[in-house]
Amino acid sequence: MDERALDERATSPGNDTVRYEHAGHVVTITYHRPERLNAINGEMRDALNAAWARFRDDPDAWVAIVTGSGRAFCAGADLHDGAGSAGTWPGTFWEIPTHNSFESGWEIFKPTIAAVNGPCVGYGLTAVSACDFVIASDRATFSFPEVKLGVPTIVGSIRLPPKLGWQHAMELLLLGDPVSASRAHEMGLAWKVVPHDSLMDEANDLAARLCSGAPLAQRAIKEVAWRTRNMSFQEAVRFGETMRRVANATDDAAEGRTAARERRAPEWTGR
């Protein structure tokens, strides 16, 4: 267990809406407004941005798990607090930056795991759709209910069709009804469904497995996979080979080759 940060608040001492735990090379970010089913208000929006920025910028943080406290993962934006969505940033609608959070597209190429412990609604599902792995409790549900409120779902509409296929994505986006954990697994939204009481054990086991791989190589793989989606094959290979040369020059790549020759487990440093 890392001695530096077992259970820290993500921002100021007065803001306890997001919990940030750092153990070894694994960070756990927990939505923490259980009395509001972890609905996101302005204070929580600021804390989430601080938590994800901290994870992104910490060289000793290799993998993140995001989950919720209490009986919900996240009930979406808090409709009683307009600052839970775009209103928390200054300026007019047209001046608000579009990539202003992890959920809306910050480029974080470290592995991320969503451990979905209960209802996952709206903005919470937007965050889940940004994660590399989704492990769902058998009590979890998933929904984008915005269409029933008269507003469009934007980031979900961009992310879900390539991930799930057109009809599965439209089931979530156009109907707005919750789907069960088993249905989420069937459509490819959830990687795995597990008994509720074993959810965090499963998430931490996966995080430990990810930490056995070279962290810089993982980030290069994820960046190549992300950036080459709309490139021609030739452009994609050229970009990938450039990334390979950069990664091959790191200390971790040298350690990997040495460990292979010495028939031992490598000791990664993330450098």
Domain residue spans of the chain: 5-211, 215-262
Judged against a pLDDT cut of 60, whether residue 90 lies above it is answered with no
Domain 5-211, architecture per CATH? Alpha-Beta Complex (3.90)
Q: Residue 99 — φ and ψ, nearest 5°?
A: -105, 75
Which pLDDT value is given to residue 11? Answer: 45
pLDDT tens digits along 2-61: 434 445 544 444 579 999 999 999 999 999 999 999 999 999 999 999 999 999 999 999
What is the reported pLDDT for 98? 64
Do 31 and 73 form a contact (C-beta atoms < 8 A)?
yes
Predicted confidence band of residue 68 (pLDDT cuts 50, 70, 90): very high
Token code pair at residue 176: 């707005």
Q: Residue 79 has what pLDDT?
A: 83
d(CA 241, CA 245): 6
Mapped onto helix, strand or coil, the DSSP state of residue 193 is: strand
Annotate 101-130 with b (16+ C-beta within 10 A) or e (fewer).
Answer: bbbbbeebbbbbbbbbbbbbbbbbbbbbbb
Distance separating alpha carbons of residues 253 and 260, to the nearest angstrom: 11
* Structure confidence by residue, pLDDT tens digits, 196-252: 999 999 999 999 999 999 999 999 999 999 999 999 999 999 999 999 999 999 999
What's the Rg (C-alpha) of the chain? 19
Q: Which residue has the higher pLDDT, 169 or 91?
A: 169
For the cut 60, the answer to whether the pLDDT of residue 80 exceeds it is yes
pLDDT reported for residue 95: 45
- Please state, rounded to an integer, the average pLDDT across all residues of the chain: 90
Query: Higher confidence at residue 90 or residue 126?
Result: 126
Query: Going by C-beta distance under 8 Å and a sequence separation of 6 or more, which residues neighbour residue 118?
Result: 37, 68, 70, 71, 72, 73, 137, 139, 140, 141
pLDDT tens-place string over residues 128-166: 999 999 999 999 999 999 999 999 999 999 999 999 999
Q: Which residues contact 93 (CB under 8 A, 6 or more apart)?
A: 86
Q: What percent of the chain has pLDDT over 70?
A: 88
pLDDT for res 81: 72
- 192 vs 22, 189, 206, CA distance in Å? 24, 9, 11
Tokens standing for 189?
A: 């939204």
List b or e across 246-256, with b for residues whose CB sees 16 or more CB atoms inside 10 angstroms: ebeebebbebb
Which residues sit opposite 77 in a β-bridge?
40
Place of tokens 């779902």: 153
What pLDDT does residue 82 have?
57
Q: Taking the complete model, does pTM exceed 0.75, yes or no?
A: yes
Q: Check residue 189 and give its pLDDT.
A: 98
20 contacts: CB under 8 Å, gap ≥ 6: 5, 7, 8, 9, 10, 27, 28, 29, 30, 51, 54
